[in-house]
Amino acid sequence: MKKINLNKLKELFAYISEKSSLFLPIESANSINFGMYDEKAKVRLDVLKTSKSPKDLFFPQSETLYSCQSAKGKISIEPQALQNDEFVVFGMKNCDFAALEILDKVFLSEPVDTFYKARRDNATIVTLACARPSESCFCKAYGIDCAQGAGDVSAWIIGEYFYWCANTQKGVALLEKTAHLFEDADEADVESAKAQIRDIVAKMPLMSLDLKNWGKGKTAEKFDSPLWDELYKPCLACGTCTFVCPTCQCYDIKDYKAGEKVVRYRCWDSCMYSDFTMMAHGNNRTSQMQRFRQRFMHKLVYFPDNNDGVFSCTGCGRCVDKCPASLNIVKVIKAFDKEA
């Protein structure tokens, strides 16, 4: 266990960023999201959760797959180069790290998504415990301990110090590179901080959310429930919930003409949109209710069915915070619990 005075963090960031790209929660234009560090960046490690999750460091909102062009009757294809540079993600919360493990089940299963894998392989992740969870958080319902360490390095802010514990070989390597900035720390300080965080978690209203009525084998029970016809009505189909969600993985693939080339790229898509999964014959989900149902059935039933009971939600609470209609996964779960 090591620690560094908070006054020296800027020195730590500068040292890491000299060796590799460094991404942290950065305030810009009245919003806080993960961005690349430079000496002018306004780092906000004090923020509980960024507006968007850091998933787009691994699964970007838009990325080129390849380009192609035709010359003299021949078509040439130029694949997009993979991310081969090492980088550090600093300050990720445990709910967002757990979300990456969910994305791993999607993108690292056969056939492996090489773009995603390259970023995962080259990333070193420093997680930061949540000193004070908010009322919109419900990570404990999914078995996530926001006080415990995760990732390659676990970190805690306690008093005037930043505590640091390496968990993997990547974490050890990062600590070795920066060891001259750290001093030895007492693990008892961290254990005391964990206990305080867990005391706060125990008092949070949504942390005791009950998922016993959801999971594997619930499709027949939930799919035709009349509750969906009432629950969906406030939904604006804006897609905000899907774009702030750390586990949503749907994307579309499109082409555009760039001079003599045609570029193929992929971009995030949302099951809340009427053209989602649109095919030549039309859309197999013809109403907003069906699209609304798809979102929550996927997270709470379909994904667990195909992934050994693992839910596709980590309780980060961004959808609770951001939905303009105050409609979210918690309301859906509670509505069905009430019916049960």
Q: Which residues contact 67 (CB under 8 A, 6 or more apart)?
A: 77, 78, 80, 258, 261, 262, 263, 264
Q: Taking a C-beta distance cutoff of 8 angstroms, is the pair 25, 10 a contact?
A: no
77, 110: one domain:
yes
- Whether residue 236 lies inside any domain: the answer is yes
For the stretch 156-181, pLDDT in tens is 999 999 999 999 999 999 999 999 99
13, 136: one domain:
yes
187, 265: one domain:
no
What is the pLDDT at residue 75? 87
**How would you list the strands of the sheet with 251-258, edge to edge?**
74-79, 62-71, 261-268, 251-258
Provide the sign of the torsion angle of the four alpha carbons 291, 295, 296, 302, taken in this order. positive
168, 313: one domain:
no
For the stretch 241-273, pLDDT in tens is 999 999 999 999 999 998 888 999 999 998 888
Domain of residue 122 covers 2-61+68-203
The neighbouring-strand residues paired with 164 are 2, 155
Provide the sign of the torsion angle of the four alpha carbons 90, 80, 244, 104, taken in this order. negative
| Residue position matching structure tokens 């994305």 | 103
In the predicted model, is pLDDT for residue 197 greater than 80?
Answer: yes
CA distance 297 to 223: 8
6, 137: one domain:
yes
In the predicted model, is pLDDT for residue 149 greater than 70?
Answer: yes
- Whether residue 213 lies inside any domain: the answer is no
Domain boundary, last residue among 169, 203, 237: 203
| Residue of 72 and 6 predicted with greater confidence | 6
Strands 161-166 and 2-5, by their bridges, are antiparallel
Strands 183-184 and 161-166, by their bridges, are unpaired
